[in-house]
């Protein structure tokens, strides 16, 4: 019984960690580019964007 | 597992996480990202002391680096600072978490693999990261000082390392005073002297520039941001920097953010009792007070951004408040202590011994799984860069230069050169060259342009707008500018890159250096300013001497006692 419980918890913990990692990495790689597109009227670089 | 391995494991974990976080940044070259600019040999110059016309934002960090890279080359120094800082922060968190293996390992993960560290690293706020690393050690050193009233060698050094910028100095001072202050007059006076000396350079330089120590009122753009979560929740997980460009994409996944907040809050609540028992009411109370202060200062910028913008615009030094998420460093010690204690308690309470390693490993790895975008230098984003050879040639051309300042054109503050992988960075050329310099310190955020704090910025714009090359050069020399370094291939408006009259000293593929025609009104700081700055830096250096002397004294007494023992 204990071995079964340990296996279940291990699968739960490992699966949770792996799932979170995959979701995070996929979102990271598919997110919109963080740099803003160029602005021909003001070519100075933006220091940052709040959105 | 042997006791030595149990003791070393969290320390090794801290070093491993630091390496994993920096990844390619540890390779040959310089990590240049937003405000992080390191050059091969930063030259010492008067403005680094705080004597320039602009509000000195990099006092004392620039001068400390300029002196340190006389001993260690700039590239190595940057790697040592970044790796050492992240590893030391993890080690400090482990010490603060107590003796248990689980608690120490979890503390390392929570402290190092946190949104706070990742975001500050990406935006290049390395003095803030050094402060973050120093804080757990300051808590430990402060508690020891409270009990023994002895300064020792570590405390002055920690204060020096943790006070390399204004925000960092305030946070280091707050942590030390909150933990170590007592009602006894002499120890309290000692603490105040230590804190005063560590912060003297930027405080005095700031006071000398008090009339210009206000910022643009639209500084509310620097308010706490949610990273995909409501901002107050993001702050609970130690994240929420204003700049969405430096937030890993994985922070935008709402589910991950909610899970991270829930796990952190549950573990912290569960660890409250054991942490309180181990550290005592005095230290825990201090850490709780610091957490409340850090959290409120951060959330205030989100709740009342216009009020903070008003403060920054009207109260000298009020600009310190505007980057709200920076203050979350004050929350780190309590979060680390509570979460570590909660996880340790949970693992100990498991009745089935076989489950303990599973849950312990899960707790240690959870911060990494919830922020996977940080791994290996933000998944390869933080690749180092090599400066163009032409920069060295331009520097050599300025080795025998006229008196006066250097103006860098195009007159804009940030660059994204191809040789830096197109990454945004504060223009590194003025730091690479040797003279005091004038740069455009306006900041473009979203569609806003925030006014700079250097009174010469509008004057340079006005000079560049004059109709002829000779008139422009003459106007610039009247501002104390003797040389111009013009970077090629930088997108700019004509008003930021106007032609000038002068003698070309160097014309390379990347940079042209011109000595301006006309006689230069060389600016000289007043004797009063020089005296004030000298006193401040003497106090700062005195702290270093005190640390060295205390180290020597402790070593000597250690050798004597071991000789008596034999």
Query: What is the rounded average pLDDT for all residues in chain B?
Result: 94
Residue ranges of B 252-311 with Cβ closer than 8 A to chain A: 252-253, 255-256, 259
Give CA–CA dist B561/B559, Å, rounded: 6
Q: How confident is the model at residue A44 (pLDDT cuts 50, 70, 90)?
A: low
Q: Does B365 touch chain A (CB under 8 A)?
A: yes
Residue B165 lies in a domain: yes
Q: How confident is the model at residue B43 (pLDDT cuts 50, 70, 90)?
A: very high
* 3-state SS class at B511: strand
From the CA of B127, how many Å to the nearest CA of chain A?
19
Give CA–CA dist B436/B452, Å, rounded: 18
Residue B66 domain boundaries: 43-380
Are the C-beta atoms of residues B310 and B217 closer than 8 Å to each other?
yes
* 3-state SS class at B230: coil
Predicted confidence (pLDDT) at residue B553 exceeds the cutoff of 90: no
Indicate if B355 and B401 belong to the same structural domain.
Answer: no
Indicate if B226 and B125 belong to the same structural domain.
Answer: yes
Residue B310 lies in a domain: yes
Q: Which residue has the higher pLDDT, B297 or A43?
A: B297
- pLDDT tens per residue, range B324-339: 999 999 999 999 999 9
Q: Measuring CA to CA, which residue among B108, B91, B205 is closest to residue B530?
A: B205
Percent of chain B residues past pLDDT 70, beyond the cut:
99
Indicate if B395 and B364 belong to the same structural domain.
Answer: no
User: How far is C-alpha B300 from the geometric centre of its chain's CA atoms?
Assistant: 21
User: φ, ψ for residue B472 (rounded to 5)?
Assistant: -65, -45
Residue B7 lies in a domain: no
Give the chain A residue whose CA is nearest to the CA of B359. A13
The residue among B493, B516, B539 that closes a domain is B516
Per-residue confidence (pLDDT) for residue B317, from 0 to 100: 85
Residue ranges of B 466-485 with Cβ closer than 8 A to chain A: none
Indicate if B142 and B119 belong to the same structural domain.
Answer: yes
Are the C-beta atoms of residues B370 and B260 closer than 8 Å to each other?
yes
The residue among B471, B497, B516 that closes a domain is B516
pTM above 0.90, yes or no: yes
- pLDDT tens per residue, range B50-102: 999 888 889 999 999 999 999 999 999 999 999 999 999 999 999 999 999 99
Indicate if B355 and B409 belong to the same structural domain.
Answer: no
The residue among B318, B350, B380 that closes a domain is B380
Per-residue confidence (pLDDT) for residue B31, from 0 to 100: 98
Q: Measuring CA to CA, which residue among B393, B384, B408 is closest to residue B488?
A: B408
Q: Is the CB of A50 less than 8 angstroms away from the CB of B221?
A: yes
Per-residue confidence (pLDDT) for residue A33, from 0 to 100: 59
Q: How confident is the model at residue B518 (pLDDT cuts 50, 70, 90)?
A: confident
Q: How confident is the model at residue B220 (pLDDT cuts 50, 70, 90)?
A: confident
Per-residue confidence (pLDDT) for residue B2, from 0 to 100: 83
**Distances from the Cα of A40 to the Cα of A30, A44, B492, angstroms:** 27, 9, 10
Structure tokens at B290: 């610091």
Q: Measured between beta carbons, which residues in chain B are less than 8 angstroms from residue A18? A: 369
Q: Is the CB of B249 less than 8 angstroms away from the CB of A5?
A: no
From the CA of B534, how many Å to the nearest CA of chain A?
34
**Distances from the Cα of B490 to the Cα of A44, B154, B422, B446, B506, angstroms:** 9, 46, 12, 20, 18
Instruction: Say which of B221, B255, B366 has its CB closest to residue A17.
Output: B366
Give CA–CA dist B125/B81, Å, rounded: 12
Instruction: Say which of A18, A25, A51 has its CB closest to residue B250.
Output: A25
Instruction: Say which of A6, A20, A31 has its CB closest to residue B370.
Output: A20
Give CA–CA dist B414/B118, Å, rounded: 21
| DSSP letter string, B95-162 | HHT-S-HHHHHHHHHHHHSSHHHHHHHHHT-HHHHHHHHHHHHHHHHHHHHHHH---TTHHHHHHHHH
Per-residue confidence (pLDDT) for residue A42, from 0 to 100: 56
Q: How confident is the model at residue B226 (pLDDT cuts 50, 70, 90)?
A: confident
Instruction: Say which of B245, B253, B365 has its CB closest to residue A23.
Output: B253
Instruction: Say which of A25, A43, A48 has its CB closest to residue B493.
Output: A43
Predicted confidence (pLDDT) at residue B287 exceeds the cutoff of 60: yes
CA-derived radius of gyration, chain A:
22
| Predicted ipTM of the assembly | 0.89
End-to-end CA distance of chain B: 34
* Exposure of B27 in the CB half-sphere (CA atoms within 13 A): 11
Indicate if B217 and B318 belong to the same structural domain.
Answer: yes
Percent of chain B residues past pLDDT 90, beyond the cut:
82
Q: Does A51 touch chain B (CB under 8 A)?
A: yes
User: φ, ψ for residue B505 (rounded to 5)?
Assistant: -95, -25
Paired sense of beta strands B405-409 and B481-487, if any: parallel
Indicate if B348 and B491 belong to the same structural domain.
Answer: no
Q: Measuring CA to CA, which residue among A37, A33, A9, A6 is closest to residue B447?
A: A37
Give the chain A residue whose CA is nearest to the CA of B355. A6
Q: Is the CB of A27 less than 8 angstroms away from the CB of B366?
A: no
Predicted confidence (pLDDT) at residue B320 exceeds the cutoff of 90: no
User: Which uninterrupted H or E stretch holds B397?
Assistant: helix B389-397
Q: Measured between beta carbons, which residues in chain B are less than 8 angstroms from residue A37? A: none
- pLDDT tens per residue, range B482-516: 999 999 999 999 889 999 999 999 999 999 999 99
Residue B400 lies in a domain: yes
- pLDDT tens per residue, range B378-403: 999 999 999 999 999 999 999 888 89
Q: Is the CB of B413 less than 8 angstroms away from the CB of A10?
A: no
Query: Rounded mean pLDDT of B13-36?
Result: 97
Q: How confident is the model at residue A35 (pLDDT cuts 50, 70, 90)?
A: low
Indicate if B455 and B364 belong to the same structural domain.
Answer: no
Are the C-beta atoms of residues B372 and A25 closer than 8 Å to each other?
yes
From the CA of B415, how many Å to the nearest CA of chain A?
7
Q: Which of A17-21, B99-103, B132-136, B158-162 has the lowest mean pLDDT?
A: A17-21
Q: Does A43 touch chain B (CB under 8 A)?
A: yes
Per-residue confidence (pLDDT) for residue A34, from 0 to 100: 55
Instruction: Say which of B245, B249, B362 has its CB closest to residue A13.
Output: B362
Per-residue confidence (pLDDT) for residue A41, from 0 to 100: 52
Indicate if B427 and B363 belong to the same structural domain.
Answer: no
Residue B228 lies in a domain: yes
Query: Rounded mean pLDDT of B189-211?
Result: 95
Q: Measured between beta carbons, which residues in chain A are less than 8 angstroms from residue B496? A: 44
What letter would DSSP give residue A32? P
Q: Measured between beta carbons, which residues in chain A are less than 8 angstroms from residue B255? A: 23
Give the chain A residue whose CA is nearest to the CA of B446. A49
* 3-state SS class at B480: coil
Per-residue confidence (pLDDT) for residue B215, from 0 to 100: 76
Q: Which of A23-27, B436-440, B539-543 has the lowest mean pLDDT?
A: A23-27
Query: Residue written as tokens 């800082």?
Result: B85
Indicate if B301 and B216 belong to the same structural domain.
Answer: yes
Query: Which residues lie across from B514 on neighbouring strands?
Result: B484, B504
Per-residue confidence (pLDDT) for residue A43, from 0 to 100: 59
**Residues written for chain A:** 51
Per-residue confidence (pLDDT) for residue B314, from 0 to 100: 87
* 3-state SS class at B443: strand
Residue B335 lies in a domain: yes
The number of distinct structural domains making up chain B is: 2
Indicate if B340 and B396 belong to the same structural domain.
Answer: no
Predicted confidence (pLDDT) at residue B214 exceeds the cutoff of 80: no
Q: Does A1 touch chain B (CB under 8 A)?
A: no
Indicate if B347 and B404 belong to the same structural domain.
Answer: no
CA-derived radius of gyration, chain B:
25
Q: Does B376 touch chain A (CB under 8 A)?
A: no
Are the C-beta atoms of residues B425 and B32 closer than 8 Å to each other?
yes
Give the chain A residue whose CA is nearest to the CA of B241. A50
From the CA of B373, how many Å to the nearest CA of chain A?
6
Helix pair angle (B115-123, B3-22), 10° resolution:
40
Chains A & B: contacts with CB separation below 8 Å: 130
- The 10 Å CB-count burial string (b at 16+, else e) for B479-516 is bbbbbbbbbeebbbeeebbbebbbeebbebebbbbbbb
Residue B524 lies in a domain: no
Q: Does A8 touch chain B (CB under 8 A)?
A: no
Residue B553 lies in a domain: no
């Amino acid at each position: 019984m204990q071995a079964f419980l340990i296996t279940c918890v291990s699968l739960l913990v490992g699966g949770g960690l792996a799932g979170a990692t995959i979701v995070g990495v996929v979102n990271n790689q598919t997110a919109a580019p963080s740099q803003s597109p160029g602005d021909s009227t003001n070519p100075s670089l933006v220091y940052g964007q709040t959105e | 597992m042997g006791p030595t391995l149990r003791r070393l494991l969290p320390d090794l974990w801290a070093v491993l996480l630091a390496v994993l976080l920096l990844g390619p940044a540890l390779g040959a070259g310089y990590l240049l990202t937003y405000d992080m600019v390191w050059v091969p040999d930063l030259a010492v110059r008067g403005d680094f002391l705080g004597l320039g016309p602009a509000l000195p934002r990099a006092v004392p960090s620039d001068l400390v680096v300029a002196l340190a890279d006389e001993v260690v080359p700039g590239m190595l120094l940057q790697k040592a600072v970044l790796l050492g800082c992240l590893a030391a922060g993890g080690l400090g968190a482990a010490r603060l978490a107590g003796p248990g293996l689980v608690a120490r390992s979890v503390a390392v993960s929570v402290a190092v693999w946190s949104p706070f560290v990742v975001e500050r690293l990406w935006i290049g706020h390395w003095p803030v990261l050094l402060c973050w690393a120093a804080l757990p050690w300051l808590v430990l050193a402060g508690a020891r000082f409270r009990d023994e009233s002895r300064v020792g060698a570590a405390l002055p050094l920690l204060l020096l390392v943790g006070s390399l910028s204004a925000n960092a100095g305030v946070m280091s001072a707050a942590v030390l005073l909150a933990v170590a202050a007592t009602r006894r007059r002499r120890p309290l006076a000692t603490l105040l002297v230590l804190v005063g000396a560590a912060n003297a350079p930027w405080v005095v330089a700031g006071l000398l520039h008090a009339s210009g120590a206000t910022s643009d009122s639209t500084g509310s753009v620097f308010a706490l941001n949610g990273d995909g979560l409501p901002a107050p929740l993001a702050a609970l997980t130690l994240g929420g920097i204003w700049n969405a460009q430096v937030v890993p994409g994985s922070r935008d996944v709402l589910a991950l953010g909610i899970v991270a907040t829930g796990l952190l809050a549950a573990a912290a609540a569960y660890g409250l009792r054991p942490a309180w028992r181990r550290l005592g009411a005095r230290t825990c109370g201090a850490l709780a007070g610091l957490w409340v202060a850090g959290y409120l200062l951060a959330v205030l910028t989100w709740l009342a951004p216009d009020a903070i913008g008003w403060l920054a615009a009207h109260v000298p030094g009020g600009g310190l408040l505007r980057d709200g998420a920076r203050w979350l460093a004050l929350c780190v010690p309590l979060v680390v202590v509570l979460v570590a204690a909660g996880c340790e308690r949970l693992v100990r309470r498991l009745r089935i011994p076989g489950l303990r390693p599973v849950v312990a490993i899960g707790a240690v790895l959870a911060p990494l799984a919830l922020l996977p975008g940080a791994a290996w230098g933000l998944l390869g984003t933080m690749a180092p860069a090599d400066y163009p050879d032409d920069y060295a040639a331009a520097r050599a051309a300025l080795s025998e230069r006229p008196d006066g300042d250097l103006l860098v054109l195009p007159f804009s503050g940030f660059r994204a050169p191809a040789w830096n992988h197109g990454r945004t960075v504060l223009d590194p050329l003025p730091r690479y060259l040797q003279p005091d310099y004038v740069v455009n310190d306006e900041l473009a955020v979203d569609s806003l342009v925030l006014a700079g704090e250097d009174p010469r910025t509008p004057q340079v714009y006005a000079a560049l707008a004059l109709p002829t090359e000779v008139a422009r050069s003459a106007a610039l020399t009247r501002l104390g500018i003797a040389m111009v370094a013009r970077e090629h291939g930088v997108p700019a408006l004509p008003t930021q890159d106007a032609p000038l009259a002068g003698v070309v000293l160097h014309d390379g593929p990347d940079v042209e250096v011109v000595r301006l025609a006309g006689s230069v009104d060389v600016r000289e700081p007043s004797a009063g300013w020089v005296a004030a700055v000298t006193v401040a830096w003497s106090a700062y250096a005195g702290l270093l001497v005190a640390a060295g002397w205390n180290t020597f004294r402790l070593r000597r007494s250690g050798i004597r006692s071991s000789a008596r023992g034999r």
